[in-house]
C-alpha cells in the first residue's frame, strides 16, 4: 500500500489553529468567558489575590516592624492587575518555565515588580524596603490559598458578568413570547396523543417559569474562599506571628475579596459551593434542552414558521427547507456542557485525605463547561427570534380533534350526578364508548350532548364549547411568570 503524501502539519501553522470548537468556530459567542476562565485569567486572578494579601498584611501591620506602603505604591501594585496584558502573560510563562510551578511564578513576578517599583521611588532605602516587603508576598500561604480564592473570583465573574445576564435575557425573551401568545389556543399532546387544549403562551410560560426558578438559585450562589495554610490549621501563621488574630485576618481578607469565608477546611477549600452551583446551572441547561426539543417539535408540526431571509441555507440539496438548526445545536451544546458540569460537581467534592491534585486539572474545565452552555443560550435566543407563530395551523389541529371535549362533558355530568340530577350515571364510560379509538366531529358531539338530558343551561354551554375555546384558565396562568 503506498504511503500517503506528506501533509502540512497544521499544528505548526501560525496563527495557532484552535483544537476545540469554542476557541475556533464558536469563538465569537463565548469570547467574554476568556476574561474570566482562561489560563491567563487564572494568573491575573492569582496576581490579584497575592497583591491584596500583601496589602492586607501591610495595612493591618500584622508583622511587627515590617515597612509600610504609601497610597501611590498601593495603587501601583493594584495597577499590575488592571494592566495585566500580553507582555505580563509572556513574562509569567517564561518564569514558570524555570520554576515549573505556576503559583510560584506569580509570586516571583510580583516580587520583581515590587522591587522595580520601590527601587524607582526615589526613597534611599527602596531596595531594603523591597527586600523586606518581598518576604510578605505569599506569606504563610500554600498554593491552594491563592488558587481557591482565584477560582472563586473567576467563576463568580464568569457567572455574574457573562453567563447570568445572557440566561436572564433569554428567559425574558421567552417570557415575552409567552405573553404575546397567551391566548393562542393549542392542542396539547400528552404521551404524544391529543389531549386537553391549552395555549401556546401558557406552555412557553411553564418553561420560562422553570428556568426562572433555577436562575434564582444561581443568583443566590455563595462563592467560598479560605486562607489558612498548608492543612487548614494556620500552623505557619501562628508560629510566625503568635500574637495576630489569624482567623479574623483570614475572614476579613476573604470577605474583602467579595467572597464568603470558609472557616473549616483541609489544605483545599472543599469546592462544595462549586458542585452546588454547577448542579444548578446543569439543571437550568436540562430545562433549556426541554425547551429546545419542544420548540423543535412545534416547528415540525407547523405551529411555528421559521423566518426566512436571515441569510441561512436550510439544506444543501432541498431548496424549500429551513432547518431548525439553532435548537439542534443548542441540544448538542447543552449535552456537552452538562457532561462537564456533572463531572465537575461529582469530582470536586472529593479529595484524598488532606489534599490531592485532581481538582487542579478538573477546575480548568469550568470555562469549557460554561462555554458550551453560553453557546446554547446564544443558539436558542437566535432560534426563538427567528420564529413566527402560525395560529392557523394550531387551529386546524384543534378542529380535527373534537374528541378532546369528552373530558369537559363527562366532568359536567359528574358534577350534576353529585348534585343528585337523574340520568347522569357512568359519564366516563359513556364518553369512552363515544370517543375512544376514533375521531368524532362537532356534529357527533353535539348530537351526543343533546341526548344526555342535561339541564338546559349546561347543555347550551357544552354545545357552544369548541376545542379552541376549551383552554380553561390558560391565558390567565401566564401572569404567574413573575412569581418564580
Please report, for the chain, the start and end positions of each structural domain, with discontinuous segments joined by +. 27-134, 143-310+323-390, 401-478
Selection from 416, 398, 413, 393 nearest residue 471 by Cα: 398
Residue 482 DSSP one-character state:
G
Concatenated DSSP letters for 297-361? HHHHTTSEEEPS-SS--S-SS-TT----HHHHHHHHHHHHHHHHHHHHHHHHT--STT--SHHHH
d(CA 382, CA 129): 57
- Residues catalogued as catalytic: 191, 315
Selection from 442, 408, 447 nearest residue 428 by Cα: 408
Would the pTM count as exceeding 0.95?
no
Distances in Å between the alpha carbon of 380 and those of 334, 368, 390, 455?
A: 11, 18, 19, 50
d(CA 315, CA 322): 7
Selection from 261, 311, 242 nearest residue 148 by Cα: 261
Give me the CATH topology for the region 401-478: Ribonucleotide Reductase Protein R1; domain 1 (1.10.40)
**CATH hierarchy code of domain 143-310+323-390:** 1.20.200.10
> Given this structure, which CATH class describes domain 27-134?
mainly alpha
Residue/partner pairs of 133-138 with CB below 8 Å, 24 or more apart: 133/54, 133/58, 133/66, 133/67, 133/69, 136/54, 136/57, 136/58, 136/63, 136/66, 137/50, 137/53, 137/54, 137/107, 137/110, 137/111, 138/50, 138/53, 138/103, 138/107
- Which residue's entry shows cell 344526555? 452
What dihedral do alpha carbons 385, 321, 291, 390 form, nearest 10°?
A: 70
d(CA 244, CA 139): 14
Q: What is the pLDDT along the chain (484 residues), one digit of tens a residue?
A: 777 788 889 899 988 889 899 999 999 999 999 999 999 999 999 999 999 999 999 999 999 999 999 999 999 999 999 999 999 999 999 999 999 999 999 999 999 999 999 987 666 688 899 999 999 999 999 999 999 999 999 999 999 999 999 999 999 999 999 999 999 999 999 999 999 999 999 999 999 999 999 999 999 999 999 999 999 999 999 999 999 999 999 999 999 999 999 999 999 999 999 999 999 999 999 999 999 999 999 999 999 999 854 444 444 444 455 789 999 999 999 999 999 999 999 999 999 999 998 999 999 999 999 999 999 999 999 999 999 999 999 999 999 999 999 899 889 988 988 888 888 788 778 777 877 777 888 998 898 888 888 899 999 999 999 999 999 999 999 999 987 6
- The answer to whether 77 and 58 are in contact (CB under 8 A) is no
Residue 377 DSSP one-character state:
H
Amino acid at each position: 500500500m503506498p504511503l500517503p503524501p506528506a501533509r502540512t502539519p497544521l499544528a505548526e501553522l501560525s496563527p495557532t489553529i484552535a483544537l476545540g470548537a469554542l476557541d475556533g468556530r464558536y469563538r465569537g459567542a463565548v469570547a467574554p468567558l476568556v476574561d474570566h476562565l482562561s489560563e491567563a485569567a487564572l494568573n491575573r486572578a492569582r496576581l490579584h489575590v497575592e497583591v491584596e494579601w500583601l496589602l492586607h498584611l501591610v495595612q493591618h501591620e500584622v508583622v511587627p516592624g515590617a515597612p509600610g506602603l504609601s497610597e501611590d505604591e498601593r495603587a501601583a501594585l493594584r495597577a499590575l492587575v488592571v494592566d495585566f496584558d500580553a507582555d505580563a502573560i509572556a513574562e509569567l510563562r517564561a518564569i514558570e518555565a524555570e520554576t515549573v510551578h505556576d503559583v510560584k511564578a506569580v509570586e516571583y513576578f510580583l516580587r520583581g515588580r515590587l522591587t522595580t517599583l520601590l527601587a524607582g521611588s526615589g526613597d534611599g532605602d527602596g531596595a531594603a524596603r523591597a527586600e523586606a516587603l518581598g518576604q510578605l508576598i505569599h506569606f504563610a500561604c500554600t498554593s491552594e490559598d491563592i488558587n481557591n480564592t482565584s477560582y472563586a473570583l473567576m467563576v463568580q465573574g464568569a457567572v455574574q458578568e457573562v453567563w447570568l445576564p445572557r440566561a436572564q435575557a433569554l428567559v425574558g425573551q421567552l417570557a415575552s413570547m409567552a405573553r404575546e401568545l397567551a391566548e393562542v389556543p393549542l392542542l396539547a399532546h400528552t404521551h404524544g396523543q391529543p389531549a386537553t387544549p391549552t395555549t401556546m403562551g401558557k406552555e412557553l410560560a411553564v418553561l420560562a417559569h422553570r428556568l426562572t426558578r433555577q436562575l434564582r438559585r444561581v443568583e443566590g450562589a455563595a462563592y467560598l474562599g479560605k486562607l489558612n495554610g498548608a492543612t487548614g490549621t494556620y500552623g505557619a501563621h501562628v508560629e510566625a506571628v503568635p500574637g495576630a488574630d489569624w482567623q479574623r485576618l483570614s475572614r476579613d481578607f476573604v470577605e474583602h475579596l467579595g467572597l464568603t469565608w470558609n472557616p473549616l477546611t483541609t489544605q483545599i477549600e472543599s469546592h462544595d459551593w462549586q458542585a452546588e452551583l454547577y448542579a444548578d446551572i446543569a439543571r437550568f441547561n436540562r430545562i433549556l434542552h426541554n425547551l429546545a426539543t419542544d420548540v423543535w417539535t412545534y416547528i415540525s408540526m407547523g405551529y411555528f414558521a421559521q423566518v426566512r431571509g436571515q441569510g441561512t441555507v436550510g439544506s444543501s440539496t432541498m431548496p424549500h427547507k429551513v432547518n431548525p438548526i439553532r435548537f439542534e445545536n443548542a441540544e448538542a451544546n447543552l449535552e456537552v456542557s452538562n457532561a462537564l458540569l456533572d463531572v465537575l460537581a461529582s469530582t470536586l467534592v472529593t479529595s484524598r485525605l488532606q489534599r490531592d491534585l485532581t481538582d487542579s486539572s478538573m477546575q480548568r474545565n469550568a470555562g469549557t463547561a460554561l462555554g458550551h452552555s453560553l453557546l446554547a443560550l446564544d443558539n436558542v435566543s437566535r432560534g426563538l427570534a427567528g420564529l413566527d407563530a402560525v395560529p392557523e395551523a394550531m387551529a386546524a389541529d384543534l378542529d380535527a380533534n373534537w374528541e378532546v371535549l369528552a373530558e369537559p362533558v363527562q366532568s359536567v355530568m359528574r358534577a350534576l350526578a353529585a348534585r343528585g340530577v337523574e340520568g347522569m350515571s357512568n359519564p366516563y364510560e359513556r364518553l369512552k364508548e363515544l370517543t375512544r379509538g376514533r375521531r368524532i366531529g362537532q356534529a357527533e358531539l353535539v348530537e351526543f350532548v343533546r341526548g344526555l338530558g342535561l339541564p338546559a343551561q349546561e347543555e347550551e354551554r357544552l354545545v357552544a364549547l369548541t376545542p379552541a375555546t376549551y383552554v380553561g384558565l390558560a391565558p390567565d396562568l401566564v401572569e404567574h411568570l413573575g412569581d418564580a
